[in-house]
Chains A and B, each alone.
Chain A
């Protein structure tokens, strides 16, 4: 029945008076509240001193301050009871700039958007600028957040009054299917629909609110109609979109190109040329082609470079360590868990290269392994959660995208792919190209039907699909989580046949 007390810090934010009120009691901690208050004072002092004219007024009351974000002391404590001044400062920054504290959502495997999409702000801004005069090849391996970034770009461009069409082209392994997929997506964008209805093939296309079977039937009919001359339809479709100043955001383009080229190389080449002409014509259709770094190598080895030479490459790197630390903290506190610095460090070490997808996955494993509202003091918990819920059978779903047998590689190349990945999983340091060449040769010895497939082509695919990267002359599987799971040699994941 003891009276709740709130420490309140108020200041003038960019959107008016703002502040935070922190409830100073939590049954999980048995520490003098005055110690917390001193540390909270110190943290807010430190924050206010970052800008000379900033002034933070403190208060202590039996209720929260007016117009203040409400928090609990556990939101700003480490498990040992010390104040997490970095997090408090970060939240004060959010209040200062956005007028609210953003709560990050834990999404192991899901797409993130809005303020959850961290560390990509500069790339988003760069893309916006770049698209005024150019088109772009957005490069990053699987699960780095390309889709999330494209979706965010779609929102940003739409909000700016532009026509942005997001299309996942991974399923359209043929040229007609590619155009149908693109037309289908474009017809669902209200601003693009009007101009496209002038095309004879799309004149009777069902409205966006039509049922799925109706839309499916229209897509099938379109595929049939353009089957004899898909290029003609593609050209007119792009020309119309160019006149409307539309921007195409083509997700999974590298997967599409590889699959399309494998089944019908000439048709894929022609399609690439049509897309290239549309980018450089008098009314250009700006395009963002999302795919791996390996796409560049693929284009090179398949002689497609010319069709993509105009694309400005833009890489999506792993997160910086400071951003990764921030994300780990926010996700854990968001689950009402109170971590120690040792637990946060253990998560970062477990994830290794801070790839957002695996970072969410490991934090989720820790959250599931912990009792509700737990104080996470023991870094051993991270190892247990990782072994049980990421490397163990409970984590199978996290790796389903990486099953080797589901990769569309030529059958003859699968043993070589399996061997290379196995060797990569043995060492985080990386392997020289000569060593890889020997492994490749031993796995492809005596196979006559390789049809020109080389180690380079395979590496291009592995870059795309497994985050294999070349750094300082050494090739490595960059993700520690992927290396760890691969090292278990589970047939369902690592065998190609």
Chain B
């Protein structure tokens, strides 16, 4: 069967498919845009798993994983992943490094204290969340503003369900400069264990121009820009192309 010869049959089959699944798809409509961010979150966790880290889900609430949808809300009320990398040292000793992978957690600027921004995914050292009790920063009814201090932020990822365009790529560089200024200046940490470098994850594919911008930025800075994650979801964590993924060290 080919659509070019059997157009009516294809139309009939599409209609049949839609009639069977329309109700379910309609029910999902409200959340459908958030699903891509979930997949990117999963990719980051998978990256760590494939790079020798042990992964555990933390802060389950009555057996459920509560996904943080927006920057508001206390991190304590949401679930996250804890990752652990163990090194065996001489003499049978072990060194354990622990980090947390959060979604929608505010992070302090690495240039100016008291300025915060919320990347989609952030990897922080364990226990790196700080509390700020200054009512000017939080919504009425909240008791505190929670953020990750610069020194505990190891890396972050920004996820966009878009096709790439130049301003989007350069906007990401603004984030890199603001929250990981050492990476922007080429003075990124080098200590083990390694993390995925600050990354921009886009669902859409690029054209010639945006691919050229991506190539230029990734050559100039230790960052990753992933295009077309709808179609090649494994790019950030695939073992086969792990050499294409830029890594940076830990802030210890």
- Co-assembled chains A and B: no
Q: Which residues of B contact A (CB under 8 A)?
A: none
